[in-house]
Every structure is written in structure tokens, then in C-alpha cells.
Amino acid sequence: MMSNNIDKRLTELFEKNNIIFWYDDEGKLKEEFDSLQIDVNKLLIDNNQFNIKYQILTSPRNSKFLVYSDKREPKYEDNWLLDLQLKSYIFSADKASMILNDLGLDIVYKPFIVRHVEFFTAKSRVESFVKLIDKTDDAEKLALKMLAVLSKCNPKIEQITINLMTKEKAYAEICKFELDDYLWKHIKHKYKY
């Protein structure tokens, strides 16, 4: 399943980018890289940065390259491919990044998604959440909408509070997904409680 998502996302990204770098810290997704079925030049960084740079720079202008490393992204001063990387797209296939991509949210929300990644394990929750979100939402609004999904109501703290009074299971889920801090913050702000 993850491989299909990666194939799909990379195919979309290659519509707008000719070079994509993929740093896979600890090489956890190396098998997915090896089995990718997309029509691009796949290059593996393995102490061969000069060769990679040569291949990219001497290829026809519209050639597409996926440059993969099974290590974390090097510091700028140690990155022999930095000039190419700065004009390329950096792909990440960890769970939080894939969720961000699926939701169409900016990378700035990654810490928020990482903290609440378990919320996104159920397809029904994700489908309900997608219907509520807006690309201009901040973390507070996203959390309120997650609370609304769990309490099965509109993303208004008044409605969420009323629904939680009759649905104990919903509050347990809110705590499970570490959203209770947001709930109490909204309640305190609204009701001065």
C-alpha cells in the first residue's frame, strides 16, 4: 500500500519537477525505491556524488531523475549535490509527510501531524476530516476540526461540548489522540472555565 502511495505521489511531483531528491534516513524504504515503477532515471547516492552530478548535468534538459539516499540529508557544507538539490524538490515518504501530501497541507504542519499521526489511521476519520479542512487553517483550527470528527458534529466548540456530554467514548478517543489539551483550551477560551 505504501509503495502505491509513493508511486502516485512521485508521479504527481514529476509533472512539475525534473529532479527529486529523496533522503530516507536509515534506508527503511529502500525496497520501495528499488521497486518503483515510474519512468525516470533512478540514482542511488553511494559515495558517487560526482558521477550523479555528471549524469544529471550532461543529460538532455527534460530528463527526469530521482536521486535516493538511504541516509539522512547531509549538512549543507557536506553536501556535494547541494547546487542541484537547491533547485530540486525534496521528497519525504515518512508517514507524517505522506499524510500531509494526501491532505494537501504545507510542511509547516508536520510537527502537528507527527504528534497526532494515529488519528489518521482510520479511513473514515480521514474522509470526515478532509471535508472540514481548509488550506488556510492553523494548528488550532485543525485540532478543532479533529475534535469535531471525533465527536461527530460541526467544528464549533459549543456543539463539540454538547456532544461530548452524551458520548463518553468520544472523549476517550480525544485523549487517545492527544487532543484533550486543545479541547480544554477551547473550552477555557469560550466558557472562561
| Residue 3 banded pLDDT, cuts 50, 70, 90 | low
State yes or no: pLDDT of 103 exceeds 60: yes
pLDDT tens-place string over residues 134-182: 888 999 999 999 999 999 999 999 999 998 988 878 899 999 999 999 9
* pLDDT of the residue at 4: 64
The secondary structure of residue 60, as a DSSP letter, is -
pLDDT tens-place string over residues 60-83: 999 999 999 999 999 999 999 999
* pLDDT of the residue at 9: 87
pLDDT tens-place string over residues 112-122: 999 999 999 89
* Spatial separation of the C-alpha atoms in residues 81 and 124, rounded to whole Å: 42
Burial class from Cβ neighbours inside 10 Å (0-12, 13-18, 19+) for residue 132 reads: middle
What mean pLDDT value characterizes the chain? Answer: 91
* pLDDT of the residue at 1: 42
